[in-house]
Structure 1
Amino acid sequence: MSSPYRAIFAAPGAKGFSAAGLLGRMPLSMMGIGIVTMVSELTGRYGLAGALSATLALATAVMGPQVSRLVDRHGQRRVMRPATLVAAASTAALLLSAQQGWPEWTLFLFVLGVGTVPSVGSMVRARWSALYADSPERLHTAYSAESVIDEVVFIAGPLLAIGLSTGWFPEAGPLLAGVFLVAGVFWLTAQRATEPAPAPAAHRSGGSALRSRGLRVLVVTFVATGGLFGSIEVVTVAFAEEHGHKAASSLVLAVWALGSCLAGAVFGLLHPKGDPALRWLLGVCAMAVSMIPLQLVGNLAVLAVALFFAGLAIAPTMVTTMALVGHHVPRANFTEGLSWMSTGMAVGAALGSSVAGSVVDAAGAGPGYAVPGASGALAAVVAFLGYRRLRPAPERAEASVPRARGGAGAHDGDSEDERVA
């Protein structure tokens, strides 16, 4: 591992909360695609599978920011554990209803409960932000490391979810995702020393982080970007099935994530200068352009190559997005601000997977790649229109910086309330 990465993980507790975050966010890549695979295996209906995946994304979009707002007020442990138990119980009920062939409405009901899952990635990034609030270069490297971990999750997750659901039993993928969620969240929240202290009452605005115009631009853009991500997953599974190798879809999606993983690892070694808003705009446009070759693919090998190059634009754009959230959202609402990004992506993924499932059912997988193409173009248009609202980036009030409860993130001048659990 290169020196910048060694430096950030040298802080006490950093390796532990990052490892717990990796485990806890596995459902991010496993649950949606696992449900799609499970339902398509049991019923052969991609429309229903896509609709359930969309419902899950929408439920997560509605609940995620509310859970994160409570976290900003009350702390990660007090909020994440109850929310996780609700999500885990709903997952168990969902799998039982699918296995027993209960009425379709029960599937949608239990998927809504799964939507209470906390945004584990936001919680981990909030810990990095508390740890390196005074070191922008190290925070950039930390965000890049988390982006790489995200891609590791998206490489391993679909492999596990699709492989287990197609090779063992249909419910196996979502089942393992639920196990990972409970284990990761309880491990993460057991690490109290690096947990950001709740924002003091005097620094709470009482309003939503969405009052920031810059954040609204980022969220709307991520809705379109989420449509790109969600639709590619559904269409790729169908494309692989049409070519007689459904299980290979997990490998193809892993190659896509691998491209992003490599780009994120390199990006973390750099310390880019200049306007981050312009860098973000170029990244969004690069993702949009990378969707063009998908319209021309004719086999799985070519698709894998196209997706690898498409992945190169993802991680750097995501890292820059997290930095922009940090500039445009008060630190007292930072976790909520990060969750709104996940929410925008979840809403887009819901729309994209639902539309893609319908297109696949009606016209086949090949035309289905028009959905991510259109989503990428829409994201670029929104980014162009909102670019001016992202620059210049305002400075956040340092008085509201939440520090870690103990260890490297706590400064000598912090109040006793902010340092002690």
Structure 2
Amino acid sequence: MPQPNRRDTVLLTVTSDTLVAADLGPRTRADDRAGDREKGPYRRLFAVPGARAFTAGNLVARLPMGMLSVSAVVMIAGTRGSYALAGAVTATGLAATAVVAPWIARLVDRYGQARVALPATVFAVLGSLALLLCVRHDAPAWTLFASYAATATTPNTGGMSRARWTHLLKGDAEALHTANSFEQAADELCFMLGPVLAAFLCGALFPEAGTLVGAVLLLAGVVLFTAQRSTEPPVLRRAPARAPFRAPGMRPLLAVCLATGAVFGAMEVVTLAFADARGHGSAAGVVLGLQAAGSCAAGLLYGAVRPAGSARSRLSWCLVAMTALMVLPLLAAGLTGSLLVLAGALLLAGMATAPTMVTTMTLVQRCTPEGRLNEGMTLAVTGLLGGIACGSAVGGWAVEHASATAGYGVPVVASATALTVSVALFGRPGSGRSNRSPSGR
């Protein structure tokens, strides 16, 4: 007796007065993908088993990243009466992070997120608590530097989250694009809400409240995040010999990160000075928050659309847009002098930063050797932090020696520098040269 075709088997049966037809053929992966596409990109993303759990823990752990430095400045300046001391302590912590963070990330890649991130976080939290106690009990100034430097062991929670997405979405470039966009939007949200929460806690409760709450949130978030073992990337028994820094294409991308960080650092310092010069210093946080809000919204929107062209070509286009939009705050400050107009200009300018960072991080992921992803992502973050420090210094110099309005030229120059590096490496947008490397898919 001939067997029916199993791929197109249909069962017909009659129940009472109803004819029932059922397709018994096996579902294919194409069928599954077609069904998934009926959902929105973010619904598909968080339908991945375990995604919601590790994301929730990671967001809790990431919020203190925008709290701890602000809390330290408010706490030290409020009790010691010296912003110079507060700035020097936080700068020391930033320098220590630039040295220690890649080393912590290398250990995470080698031994796993749970085995390294949790003890590293505990050590960092102890550093924050030591800083709190030293400030509270009027300890010598050198103890503040030593305590805050210990917080440099804080793991790169954003990089670990991106590493999980890369592991879970391997081979699905479109879904990974959405995941990277979400992660960048989450970064912007945390850096927007973190300083506001820190300032509120320190002002409404006591000067040490921001540091204390930030330390508790960091530890709780990392505990929740590392407890999700089912989504943790596997550890390679033998890490590749090539370090991420030496990988082809990585160093120019780090230069782009450095220049992009300078945009952020300069914009913050110059905006604070501009608002203060017009007697509205307390409104500077809200104005900067609008820039972060624009970036957050653009990041989510960017993740909802299907990427077109190669990632390298997209990076050049994003940098073109960022350079053009960074002119808006300069024009708003120079032509109107209005803080309200400047706020609108910063909202628009911020919309170019998230797509730029999403595309940069995508290329960093592709350039990083397998098994060293956390280290590669942390190098990119270290480049951003270095750029923020440089941008803050140059922006402050421009404000002091010229004016706050002239200071808005620094972000324009920094973004143009990032664009120049991108064009020199990948070619002009749409030139076709960016498609030569497989990492530029």
TM-score using structure 1 length = 0.84
Contact 1:50-1:357 at 8 Å conserved across structures = no
Structure 2, gaps ≥5 residues long: 1-37, 428-432
Match of 2:9 in 1: none
Deviates most, 22-31 or 42-51: 42-51
CA RMSD of aligned residues (A): 2.7
Q: CA deviation at 1:290?
A: 2.8
Equivalent of residue 301 in structure 1, options 327, 340, 361: 340
Match of 1:94 in 2: 131
The separation in 2 between residues aligned to 1:68 and 1:21, in whole angstroms, is 16
The separation in 2 between residues aligned to 1:301 and 1:166, in whole angstroms, is 26
Alignment of 1:407-418 (within 5 A): none
Match of 1:154 in 2: 191
The separation in 2 between residues aligned to 1:341 and 1:193, in whole angstroms, is 26
Q: CA deviation at 1:148?
A: 1.9
Alignment of 1:245-324 (within 5 A): 245-295=280-330, 296-297=332-333, 298-324=337-363
Match of 2:210 in 1: 173
Equivalent of residue 211 in structure 1, options 230, 235, 246: 246
Contact 2:262-2:411 at 8 Å conserved across structures = yes
Contact 1:163-1:247 at 8 Å conserved across structures = no
Contact 2:243-2:369 at 8 Å conserved across structures = no
| Cα distance, 1:306–1:62 mapped onto 2, change above 3 Å | same
| Cα distance, 1:107–1:2 mapped onto 2, change above 3 Å | farther
Contact 1:53-1:353 at 8 Å conserved across structures = no
Match of 1:228 in 2: 263
Contact 1:86-1:114 at 8 Å conserved across structures = yes
Structure 2 residue identity aligned to 1:157: G
The separation in 1 between residues aligned to 2:393 and 2:207, in whole angstroms, is 21
The separation in 1 between residues aligned to 2:280 and 2:404, in whole angstroms, is 13
Alignment identity in percent? 43
Instruction: Tell me if 1:340 matches 2:384.
Output: no
Structure 2 residue identity aligned to 1:225: T
| Cα distance, 1:315–1:304 mapped onto 2, change above 3 Å | same
The separation in 1 between residues aligned to 2:359 and 2:438, in whole angstroms, is 15
Alignment of 1:363-374 (within 5 A): 365-374=404-413
The separation in 2 between residues aligned to 1:91 and 1:97, in whole angstroms, is 10
Structure 2 residue identity aligned to 1:294: P
Alignment of 1:64-213 (within 5 A): 64-201=101-238, 204-213=239-248
TM-score using structure 2 length = 0.81
Q: CA deviation at 1:40?
A: 4.9
Contact 2:67-2:198 at 8 Å conserved across structures = yes
Contact 2:399-2:407 at 8 Å conserved across structures = yes
Match of 2:10 in 1: none
The separation in 2 between residues aligned to 1:314 and 1:170, in whole angstroms, is 33
Structure 1 residue identity aligned to 2:230: A
Q: CA deviation at 1:162?
A: 2.7
- SS of alignment partner, residue 56 of structure 2: helix
Q: CA deviation at 1:288?
A: 3.0
Deviates most, 240-249 or 79-88: 240-249
Equivalent of residue 33 in structure 1, options 59, 62, 70: 70
Contact 1:214-1:390 at 8 Å conserved across structures = no
- SS of alignment partner, residue 207 of structure 2: coil
The separation in 2 between residues aligned to 1:61 and 1:128, in whole angstroms, is 24
Where relative contact order (Cα < 8 A, 6+ residues apart) is larger, the structure is: 1
Deviates most, 227-236 or 312-321: 227-236
Instruction: Tell me if 1:6 matches 2:43.
Output: yes
Contact 2:75-2:208 at 8 Å conserved across structures = yes
Q: Could you give the per-residue CA deviations for residues 245-303 of structure 1, whole angstroms, max 9, x where no partner exists?
A: 44433322221111011111111111122121121122223323333333342343223
The separation in 2 between residues aligned to 1:232 and 1:45, in whole angstroms, is 24
Contact 1:231-1:352 at 8 Å conserved across structures = yes
Structure 1 residue identity aligned to 2:59: L
| Cα distance, 1:67–1:105 mapped onto 2, change above 3 Å | same
Contact 1:54-1:351 at 8 Å conserved across structures = no
